[in-house]
Structure 1
Amino acid sequence: MNAGTQELRFWEVLYHLVTKEGMRVVHLPKSGREAWLEDDRKEPYQIIRFVNKDLDWSNELRKEIRDTEQRAKQVRKRLGLRQANVVNLILTMYPPVDSWESLVDQPLPLTAGGKQQMRTILLTEENLSRVMFPLATEWGLNESPRFLPLETVGDEGEWIRTLKGQVMKASDKRTERERNVFLYGKPIFTFILLTAILGLFALIEVAGSSTDVRTLIEFGAKFNPLIHEGEWWRFFSAMFLHIGFLHLFMNSLALFYLGGAVERIYGTSRFILIYFIAGLVGSVASFAFNEQVSAGASGAIFGCFGALLYFGVKHKRLFFRTMGMNVIVILIINLGLGFLVPMIDNGAHIGGLVGGFFASAIVSLPNTPFRSLRRLLAFMITTVGIAALLIYGYGKPQDGSGYLAYVQIGQEYFQEEEYDEAQRYLTMAVEGGAEMKEAYFLLGNTHALMEEYDVAEKNFLSAIELDSQFAPAYYNLALVYLRTDRLSLAEESIDQAIELEPNDDQYLELKNEIVNR
Structure 2
Amino acid sequence: MIEIGQLPNARAAQAFIDYLKGLNIQCNAVQHAQGVGIVIIHPEDEQQARQELLQFAKNPYDSKYLQASWDNGDTSAQFDYGSGTQGLVQQFLMGAGPLTLITFFICVAVFAGMNLGFADAIYTQLSFFGAVPQSDISQIWRLFTPSLMHFSAMHIIFNLLWWWYLGGKIENKIGTRPLLFLLLVAGTLPSIVQFYLSGPHFGGLSGVVYAVVGYTWLMGIRQPHCGIQLPQAYMGFMMVWLVLGFTDLLGMPIANGAHIGGLLVGLAQALFDSRKQPQI
Q: Tell me the TM-score normalized by structure 2.
A: 0.60
Q: CA deviation at 1:319?
A: 9.0
Q: From 340, 351, 355, give the equivalent of 2:247.
A: 340
Q: Call closer, same or farther: CA 1:327–1:262 in 2, change over 3 Å.
A: farther
CA distance in 1, matches of 2:247, 2:238: 14
CA deviation vs aligned residue, 1:422-456 (integer Å, no higher than 9, x gap) = xxxxxxxxxxxxxxxxxxxxxxxxxxxxxxxxxxx
Superposition RMSD in Å: 3.8
SS of the residue 1:301 aligns to = helix
Letter matched to residue 127 of structure 2: A
Q: Call closer, same or farther: CA 1:237–1:31 in 2, change over 3 Å.
A: closer
Q: From 299, 310, 332, give the equivalent of 2:207.
A: 299
Letter matched to residue 102 of structure 2: I
Extract unaligned runs of 5+ from structure 2: 1-18, 25-41, 59-94
CA distance in 2, matches of 1:365, 1:188: 23
SS of the residue 1:340 aligns to = coil
2:127 corresponds to: 221
1:94 corresponds to: none
**Greater RCO (CA < 8 Å, at least 6 residues apart):** 2
CA distance in 2, matches of 1:359, 1:367: 12
Contact kept, 8 Å, 2:207 with 2:263, in 1: the verdict is yes
Q: CA deviation at 1:177?
A: 6.3
Q: CA deviation at 1:223?
A: 5.2
Extract unaligned runs of 5+ from structure 1: 1-26, 33-164, 370-517
2:101 corresponds to: 191
Letter matched to residue 166 of structure 2: L
CA distance in 1, matches of 2:215, 2:206: 14
Letter matched to residue 206 of structure 1: L
Letter matched to residue 343 of structure 1: P
Confirm whether residue 205 of structure 1 aligns to residue 112 of structure 2: no
Q: From 138, 162, 176, give the equivalent of 1:268.
A: 176
Confirm whether residue 368 of structure 1 aligns to residue 245 of structure 2: no
SS of the residue 1:243 aligns to = coil
Q: Call closer, same or farther: CA 1:358–1:28 in 2, change over 3 Å.
A: closer
Letter matched to residue 217 of structure 1: Y
Q: Work out the percentage of aligned pairs sharing the same amino acid.
A: 22
2:259 corresponds to: 349
Q: CA deviation at 1:31?
A: 8.8
Contact kept, 8 Å, 1:307 with 1:356, in 2: the verdict is yes
Aligned length in residues: 204
CA deviation vs aligned residue, 1:207-232 (integer Å, no higher than 9, x gap) = 434xxxx4453131235455984344
Contact kept, 8 Å, 2:182 with 2:211, in 1: the verdict is yes
CA deviation vs aligned residue, 1:188-214 (integer Å, no higher than 9, x gap) = 2101111111122223333434xxxx4
- Alignment map for 1:130-169 (pairs within 5 Å): 169=46
Larger Rg: 1
Contact kept, 8 Å, 1:279 with 1:303, in 2: the verdict is no
Q: CA deviation at 1:365?
A: 4.8
CA distance in 2, matches of 1:28, 1:261: 25
Q: From 221, 238, 250, give the equivalent of 2:158.
A: 250
Contact kept, 8 Å, 1:299 with 1:349, in 2: the verdict is yes
CA distance in 2, matches of 1:280, 1:194: 17
Letter matched to residue 220 of structure 1: L
Letter matched to residue 307 of structure 1: Y
SS of the residue 1:323 aligns to = coil
1:308 corresponds to: 216
Confirm whether residue 323 of structure 1 aligns to residue 217 of structure 2: no
1:425 corresponds to: none
CA distance in 1, matches of 2:235, 2:258: 18
Contact kept, 8 Å, 1:311 with 1:365, in 2: the verdict is yes
Q: Which stretch of the first structure deviates more once superposed, 338-347 or 319-328?
A: 319-328
Q: Tell me the TM-score normalized by structure 1.
A: 0.34
CA distance in 2, matches of 1:330, 1:321: 17
